[in-house]
Amino acid sequence: MKISDSIKISFRAVAANKLRSGLTALGVIIGIASVIIMIALGEGAQNLIIGQIASMGSTTIFIEPGAFDPKKGGDIMQSAMEEMSLKTLTYDDALALEKDPLVEAVSAIVFGVDRIVYKNIDKKVSFMGGMPASREILDIHTIKGRDITNDDLKSNAKVAVLGYKLAQDLFGEENPIGETIRIKKTNFKVIGVLEEQGTQMFMNLDENIFIPLTTAQRMLLGTNSVNWILAKARSEEAVDETVESIRLVLRERHHLYNPEGDLSKDDFKVMSQKETARMVSTVTSVLTLFLALVAAIALLVGGIGIMNIMFVSVTERTREIGLRKAVGAKSKDILEQFLIEAVILTVLGGFLGIVSGIFLSFIGVLALQKIGGLEDWRFFVPYQTVVLAFGICVAVGLIFGIYPARKASRLDPIQALRYE
């Protein structure tokens, strides 16, 4: 029998049981769509995070509290909540790093959440205490009023610079400069409004309040420690040298004897933008792979469903198989026909799964952009994923279809004809 004849017969057999064929392909559709969605969203998240890190500049250096954990790779996101409670970095550390000739700019940063009150408006907001250099490092500029100065730091000034959207929410079309707002029962004078920034490192800077570091520490948080220190190297070529210099300064200040340079013995972590991007990329890649493997379980279930349906099909068509063998069909022809049927079901399911996965990924990205406020999250489906998904469909059809097909091809024609 010609292969074209086997294909025609297989298509007729699939079309004869539309509902059963559709339900059989559904498992493959769900599996393939899940794999594509997980990989597409994972790639999008990775590109978003790396893009936001890169936007901070290739000379930016992150300094965090807490020892480097070799098992976790020192990932910047690995223990963010834990690090918020660590107190190994201080404002004085930042002042000491300012004196390093390799460092162009330094800013210690603290974070907090509290309620802000202006007239009859009362809302919960995030605030960031920083130094004047933080705007330079983060590339943030004021569009109204002025920025925080060193005099504000020295005097613990109760002044605030508002994020773009927060200023609109509180004051609308009014000029906020010189107005007074209250944070945690403390009055602050508004001295500036920042340009629109959007979301960076999953923080919506447009809804933040920026105040002097010393004011935030003493009046709002009651602490001498800082959550982060940001530093800027004088050139991209000097980043690695600057990172090592910062480690030496902090080890001396923290009285850490570490001549071998063992990072796990430090009580801080120093990472360049390049290192941070690499670590984040590694973590998101592993997470994406894990999610894709979980989604692949649905594909495995779909394959098992196809095998079960093919067994049912073989049982239902036992007399047909016996008749075809009686008139001269070979075992190879029967094997070929049932294999083709299995592949048709999986390829059909795979095609619909690919289309569904791409469509749902696009919808998911739109939801993240519009509802989640992640405007920089981009829709991206690697073509390798589509090719791989299609290959998996064919493989599933062959793997899960071969056993029922072999069973059909080995049926004795006389016994098959007697089958009731």
H-run or E-run covering 29: helix 18-55
Higher pLDDT, residue 208 or 35: 208
**Rounded mean pLDDT of 310-325?**
68
Under DSSP, the state recorded for 265 is G
Helix axes 383-409, 18-55, angle to 10 degrees: 150
Whole-number Å distance between alpha carbons of 168 and 165: 5
Can you give the residue ranges of every domain in the chain? 3-52+279-417, 89-253
**Alpha helices, H only, 202-316:** 213-215, 239-253, 273-316
Q: With beta carbons less than 8 A apart as the criterion, state whether 270 and 106 touch.
A: no
What is the pLDDT averaged over residues 187-209? Answer: 82
User: What gap in Å lies between CA 116 and CA 124, rounded to an integer?
Assistant: 6
- pLDDT of 220 above 60: yes
> Which own/partner pairs from 371-374 qualify as long-range (CB within 8 Å, at least 24 positions apart)?
373/199, 373/204, 374/48, 374/199
Contact, 6 vs 337, CB < 8 A? yes
Single-letter residue type at 137: I
Mean of pLDDT values over 175-204: 85
Which is higher by pLDDT, 31 or 401? 31
**CA 343 to CA 402: how far, in whole Å?**
10
Identify the weakest region by mean pLDDT among 55-69, 98-112, 170-184.
Answer: 55-69
Quick one: pLDDT band at residue 187, thresholds 50, 70, 90? very high
Residue 183 has pLDDT above 70, yes or no: yes
- 108 - beta bridge partners? 229
Residue keyed to tokens 């508004």: 190
